[in-house]
Amino acid sequence: MNNNIQNVSITGIGMYVPEKTLDNAHFESYLDTSDEWITKRTGVKTRHIVEKGTPNSDLSYEAAVKALEMSGVAPEELDLIIVATVTPDRLFPSTACTLQAKLGAGDCGAFDVLAACSGFIYALSIAHGQMALGNVKKVLVVGSEVMSSIIDYNDRGICVLFGDGAGAVVLENVPEDRGSLVDYIIRADGRQGEILYMPAGGSLNPTSFETVKKNMHTVKMEGNKVFKLAIKHMAELAREITQRNGLTLDDIDMVCIHQANIRIVKGVMSALHLDMATKSYNNIDRYGNTTAASIPLCVHDAFKDNRLKKGDKMIILTFGAGLTYAAALMEWGIENTLQDSTAIADTKEAIEEQKITVPAGVNGKKNISMDI
């Protein structure tokens, strides 16, 4: 990277997940599955789900407030807001624009990025690019999803994986002793687009009675293909981003990998010959796959649990629909003081806890294969 460009770092981080949870016992009640099977195959024990009708921007707002509080940046000081998501409030206006209004962030730039699970790193790289050009100085980047709105809860291969949540970071120009965003790699392979996708809702298959009847507005996935490509590409990205920055994998203190499936994480760490217990952090057991929110939630919790410390070199790796895959290299710059830890752990109680009912149309157990 250009050494003349002013240093950019994360100065605040926040997260939010809804209070309502679905544990594995819920799926045992109407699908042919078990807690043991789900845990072994995916690593997920529970996932957080919004109340019906809760918009993405509500989750984004809660996470953003926490990130801004930690950074000390007021909403009106923001120059740009980017929201990475595949589940926006609506196609337009963007969720970022809605979030801007909810925060009272003035007339700063605001737009969404759609790169599925890789969206957060894509958004980070765009934000950093704008800062490097001198166009903006303070940026809010959010990864936020309401995946429950596009999940078929009769499909055992999909519904046990996903949850809702949001994570946010504030980027600022700061001295290098406060950390640094060092490098990014963003890639895609559109030839593999139909192994993980949602068939309808866009201009190719506009919403109609037929698309709803055929259940075309929910996630479809070829799990085995996604599994193999995810491990391959994320391991390659980790090697490439370290090598081109004059580092080895031994120099890396923390690897945060997209929390899609614990077996994918294990596969990547094994391919890199890194110790999973000491070099990676995982929270898929608590949240499931939150798509674009996965990486900021993982980084947030690694920091909160004191696994990520000031001065640590960290790689974040993602892989998602598109296919998209991405990596970022950074040096963490926030001190984990008691005050910071408390601030990021607290969330506003905006949604009442309530058990979710079995989805309409579910009668008896469904024996649906899962190939991931």
Is 258 known to be catalytic? yes
User: Which residues have C-beta within 8 Å of that of residue 208, sequence separation ≥ 6?
Assistant: 200
Where do the DSSP E strands lie in 65-121? 80-84, 109-113
Residue-range domains of the chain with CATH = 8-179 (3.40.47.10), 181-345 (3.40.47.10)
pLDDT at position 4: 53
Residue 1 pLDDT > 50: no
What are the pLDDT digits (tens) for 263-294?
999 999 999 999 999 999 999 999 999 999 99
pLDDT at position 165: 98
Is 97 known to be catalytic? no
Under 8 Å between Cβ of 186 and 118: yes
- Residue 18 pLDDT level (bands cut at 50, 70, 90): very high
- Residue 63 pLDDT level (bands cut at 50, 70, 90): very high
> Locate tokens 């790193």: which residue?
121
- Catalytic residue among 7, 289, 298, 300, which? 289
User: What proportion of the chain, given as a percentage, has pLDDT over 70?
Assistant: 89
Return the amino acid letter for 303: F
What are the pLDDT digits (tens) for 184-219?
999 999 999 999 999 999 999 999 999 999 999 999
pLDDT at position 185: 98
Measured distance CA(225)–CA(203) in Å, rounded: 26
What are the pLDDT digits (tens) for 39-51?
999 999 999 999 9
User: Which residues have C-beta within 8 Å of that of residue 132, sequence separation ≥ 6?
Assistant: 2, 5, 6, 8
3-state secondary structure of 47: strand
- Residue 237 pLDDT level (bands cut at 50, 70, 90): very high
- Catalytic residue among 108, 117, 159, 298, which? 117
What are the pLDDT digits (tens) for 117-135?
999 999 999 999 999 999 9
What are the pLDDT digits (tens) for 73-86?
999 999 999 999 99
Write down the pTM of the prediction: 0.90
Is 298 known to be catalytic? no
What are the pLDDT digits (tens) for 311-358?
999 999 999 999 999 999 999 999 988 444 333 344 333 323 333 333
Residue 64 pLDDT > 70: yes
Across the chain, what does the average pLDDT equal?
Answer: 91
pLDDT at position 169: 98
Measured distance CA(136)–CA(133) in Å, rounded: 8
- Catalytic residue among 26, 128, 233, 258, which? 258
- Retrieve residue 140's tokens: 């809010």
